[in-house]
Structure 1
């Protein structure tokens, strides 16, 4: 009976070993044409690495990532009470609006700025281990998404505290976060490759996002611009924030922000794929 079981288990073990060997070979033999797909599929790698980064960053800290949440909460509280008076807004409506905008903007800007350093920061790993460059970007995006998920529930509770209730549109938050994450991935790939080759791109991106904050409806509403509302309509950051803010606040869901955000994914990954095909093998020499 034991002899029979031994031969029954052996084919399964061989099949598993062959599958692991094939997966490892596919991991090492990737090219610029399939780097993005291979990197996105390696969730077990970038999930573990991103979580390790968070644990290392907040090692020996009592609050950990909640320090970021506490800082955001204080900033939203101070700016909310001040700007609600300056803009003539009801604090119960303005504070949740500002809070969601601030949290999402911090994710977008932080992911973009850290994306500039994604390849450079992983330089030693890239030179020693052949793994998809996209993995390093996904690691950074996942790390920032975890921090976002620490802060966003606090803002939602703040909204409920002021008497607002959640609606069925809240379920659209899940695809909204997925779209936000994918946009952060392609931007990290594009900025990471460009900054690896041209280090002057990093401060340029940082300055553009500083200016972009004031041109994006974070502290103010697009309707406040009246006849100049087109400035917000052509701002891609506005649409990325809106697909998160509208489902939480329960405001009417407009199709335009979703179309803009999906179009950004298509165009962004097209640019990222082009850079990967052309320059993927050169990145290690630029670091």
Structure 2
């Protein structure tokens, strides 16, 4: 039910938008239960249940690691951990973008029958993707145990003189925790923003589906920036540095790096944190503006 401050505020006010968001966060038992039920329903009557999430991630990471190691001549002991963590993070972001655009559309029945804050449905989607991520982190732990001996010392992803030397695993692994928190915060505003926009304009989800693959190949998931720099080293035409600069314009790259780098002992630039922080502020500003103006219309648009 609306709180007293919310009822006193104009229909289109930041106070009502924040009240909706606050009420959604307080209803954590509801969206947490719904998210878990989504996962159980997906794997209902299967022998392994939600563990299929982990198995699927392990098979995909192993296949991509072996293939890319053979293609680029890179040691699998350093490339596979990088690919695995990149895939785990990409699956979360991809889920927030693709499934986030369908959040309110798929919850049409509940929105029309259950008097709950709009943000509850967005948090349901984000928490479901977070549970997938937690399942997939089991694969990271196994990979870490297998290749710890290599990752615990300085190493190069590319076997070439002058290639970037990564420091190896250290206490900086704890930086992955605030990185994950920042990723969850961004997942929430992405789902809210895309969910509202897609509910009004039904052409948005197919457009997202069309472009999401492009973002995957333009993000250092199956490959690394070290390989790009190595391949363009010594280029006299200047295309190498331009390619690196263009790839760094991809916002997904920065969110991947603030978590993957400490998890696999790679060198990290604080530029990634700066970009991720700025995008978090801008994203939430835009999402709150949309929630402020169109929160009440979602029930009519679905």
Alignment TM-score > 0.5, same fold: yes
Residue aligning to 1:183: 186
Change (3 A) 1:171 1:33: closer
Aligned-residue RMSD, C-alpha:
1.8
Question: 1:78 matched to which residue of 2?
Answer: 63
Larger radius of gyration: 1
Which of 196, 199, 214 in structure 2 is aligned with 1:193? 196
CA–CA distance in 1 between the matches of 2:23 and 2:53? 32
The answer to whether structure 1 residue 110 and structure 2 residue 95 are counterparts is yes
Residue matched to 2:221: 218
Kindly state the Cα deviation for residue 195 of structure 1 after the two structures are TM-superposed. 0.8
Cα deviation for residue 183 of structure 1 reads 0.8
Alignment match, 1:252: 267
* C-alpha distance in structure 2 between counterparts of 1:60 and 1:167, whole Å: 42
Decide which structure has greater helix share: 1
CA distance in 2, matches of 1:47, 1:284: 22
Question: Aligned to 1:263, which of 261, 274, 278?
Answer: 278
Pair 1:173 & 2:176 matched: yes
Q: List gaps (5 residues or longer) in structure 2.
A: 8-14, 153-168, 230-240
Gaps spanning 5+ residues in structure 1: where? 1-23
1:101–1:241 contact (8 Å) kept in structure 2:
yes
Contact 1:32 1:281 in 2 (8 A): no
Whether the 8 Å contact between 1:156 and 1:248 is mirrored in structure 2 is no
Match of 1:99 among 84, 89, 110: 84
Distance 2:27 2:90 in 1: 27
Asked if the contact 2:254/2:272 (under 8 Å) is kept, the reply is yes
Aligned residue pairs: how many? 264
Structure 1 residues 81-119: Cα deviation after superposition (integer angstroms, max 9, x where no partner): 111111121110001111111111111111211101100
- Name the counterpart of 1:26: 3
